[in-house]
Amino acid sequence: MIKARWKRGIGAALFVAMAGGLTAGALLSSPAVADETCQSPYMAKIVGQEDFVYVWTLGVEGVGDGQDKLVTVSVNPKSSSFGKVVSSVSVGGRNEAHHSGFTDDRRFLWAASLDTNKIFVFDVHSNPAKPKLTKTIKDFVRKSGGVVGPHTTYALPGRMMITGLSNNKDHGGRTALVEYTNDGKYVSTHWMPTDQNLHGAKKTGKYADGYGYDVRALPRLNVMITSSFTGWSNYMMDFGKMLGDKEAMKRFGNTMVVWDLHTRKPKEVLDVPGAPLEVRCAWNPNHNYCFTTTALTSKIWLVYMDEKNKWHAKAVADIGDPSKVPLPVDISISSDDSHLWVNTFMDGNTRLFDVSDPFHPKMVFEKQIGSQVNMVSSSWDGKRLYFTTSLLSNWDKKGKADEQFFKAYDWDGRQLKEQFAIDFMKAKLGRPHQMRFGAYSLYAEKAPNSQTTLADRR
């Protein structure tokens, strides 16, 4: 199921778009680990050298201007600004910057905030080196009918699917999916199924908690999959305080939901106890499964469809020593579905699992990136990996261990070799969180003073 809708230009164009399957073969001569594979399948994709990494960064009281900001790092080795921050756009306030996502045409980046519920929309196409804040959605809670904590901003054709984490009644975990058009107009709210109201879904296990976190779509199966984290009270509070609060610890998601993508109706609630976070679905059209990791129980879970089209969830591997609460955070699946990068926050490690047998993942590589690590993003060709440190403003480590950096590595299939690092505290920027890639080629442009072509890295 290959849908390269975007035509390749001659010369600078080095992106393709995919819609539910693999890209055109010619563009995928070396399937590799790639964060780009974690994007919406409806979206244009960079397959060559990325020019920029957009880092959605949390402001820290007393550091620089103390505000959240979108920081643009130049990452093309051919650029004179390689390894430098080339732009920083402060958005006002500390909003608990967290995740961001492009619209399907990749012209705008929607950066959401878990505390103040604002969504900042940046124009990244007019000048990819200098994103511009063009719209701030401030009435998300009111428009959505009480959804708090916009998290994943996931591209659907002409619209954005936004997962919530909480609500304005109790700041607990009951929440919904919210749809907006690319223009920033509210469309609809889809509440997560709960024991009180399953919204027509079937509860297959013990839980129907109504919590939310991430969303991914499998268009070829007409399926959408969501995971579940926790409400505002927990994700906003001091991490240590929460671990010591018996009541708070009972309020984590234990479910994933399989949805009908076309109708946006929940179909089945699956038990996945221990806060399943990021969802990464396989790309091969014969691979009807997705991975997630449970933050608190430190396991890789496989969510898969059997021959009878029935969905199941199964714990398939431990990540590190679960008794030490390593806290798996960001994950990234390779475009050939063979490998999965897994970061663990507490020990600051990144781990690579061979998942070619999805039921039996095996760890094949492990390295400490820093005293703490959260996000990992890889280039399409898998040769470059980027890491950032911040998890949540009040969950990050305290004191000296609270390192806040952006680090770029080269990956040769055996070793990670550091290329450069930016200390975000020293640079008075804040806590770096999610990374998204930008490239001149997406907009049929040539980089000033540099050539970025598909051939550069081949």
Partner 1 sequence: MKASIAMAGGLFSLLLAATGLAYAGGDNATPALAPGYGALGFVPPAVGSYELPALKMAPNGNVLDESGKQVSLYQVFGDKIVVFSFIYSTCGDVNGCPLATFVLNRLKKRMDADPELGANVRLVTISFDPEHDTPAVMRLYAANFKDGAGQWRFLTTASQQQLRPILDSYGQRIQREVDASGQATNTFSHVLRVFLIDRQRQIRNIYAVSFLHPDLVVNDIKTILRAPPIIARSSSKVATSAATKYSPAKLLARLQTPPLGLPPMPVPADNALSPIKVALGRKLFFDRRLSLNQTVSCAMCHIPQQGFTNNELATSVGIEGRTVRRNAPTLYNVGYKQRLFHDGRETALRRQIWGPLLNHNEMGNVAVGQIIGKIRSLQDYSNQFDQAFPTRGLDMETLGMAIASYERTLVSGNSPFDRWYYGGEKGAVSQSAKRGFGLFSGKAGCSACHSVGKRHALFTDQRLHNTGIGYARSMAIEPPTRKVEVAPGVVLDVATSIMRSVSGQAPADLGLYEVTQDPADRWKYTTPTLRNIALTAPYMHDGSLPTLRDVIEFYNRGGVANEELDTRIHPLHLRQQEIDDLVAFLSTLTGDDVGALVGDASSAPIGDPGGAATDGGVPQVTRAE
* Region 26-65 residues binding partner 1, contact defined as CB under 8 A: 28, 31, 41-42, 44
Smallest gap from Cβ 86 to partner 1, in A, equals 24
Residue nearer to partner 1 on the CB measure, 52 or 252: 252
Residue nearer to partner 1 on the CB measure, 80 or 197: 197
Q: Which residue has the tokens 């991430």?
A: 214
Smallest gap from Cβ 372 to partner 1, in A, equals 9
CB 408 within 8 A of CB 83: yes
Contact pattern from residue 363 through residue 382 relative to partner 1, giving x for each residue in contact according to CB under 8 A and a dash for the rest = --------------------
Restricted to residues 279-298, the positions that interact with partner 1 (CB under 8 A) are 284-286, 294, 296-297
**Starting from the edge strand earliest in sequence, which strands make up the sheet with 375-378, in order?**
375-378, 384-388, 405-411, 416-423
Residue nearer to partner 1 on the CB measure, 195 or 418: 195
Query: Binder to partner 1 among 139, 195, 357, 423 (CB under 8 A)?
Result: 139
What is d(CA 116, CA 119) in angstroms, rounded to the nearest whole number?
9
Restricted to residues 65-104, the positions that interact with partner 1 (CB under 8 A) are 93-96, 104
Restricted to residues 392-411, the positions that interact with partner 1 (CB under 8 A) are 393-398, 401
231 scored as a contact of partner 1 (CB under 8 A)? yes
Residue 281 tokens, joined: 């679905």
Query: Binder to partner 1 among 241, 310, 360, 362 (CB under 8 A)?
Result: 241
260 scored as a contact of partner 1 (CB under 8 A)? yes
Contact pattern from residue 413 through residue 442 relative to partner 1, giving x for each residue in contact according to CB under 8 A and a dash for the rest = ------------------------------
Residue 349's DSSP bridge partners are 344, 368
323 scored as a contact of partner 1 (CB under 8 A)? yes
What is d(CA 219, CA 217) in angstroms, rounded to the nearest whole number?
6
CB 57 within 8 A of CB 122: no
Q: Which residue has the tokens 């399937």?
A: 31
Segment interacting with partner 1 (CB under 8 A) among 62-70, 182-190, 406-414, 431-439:
182-190
Nearest to 73 by CA among 361, 434, 394, 397: 434
* The amino acid at 323: S
Expressed in angstroms, the distance from the first to the final Cα of the chain is: 25
Segment interacting with partner 1 (CB under 8 A) among 71-79, 249-257, 356-364, 374-382:
249-257
Cα separation values, 45 from 13, 104, 107, 146, 421, Å = 11, 10, 12, 34, 25
Residue 416 tokens, joined: 């990670």
CB 4 within 8 A of CB 28: no
20 scored as a contact of partner 1 (CB under 8 A)? yes
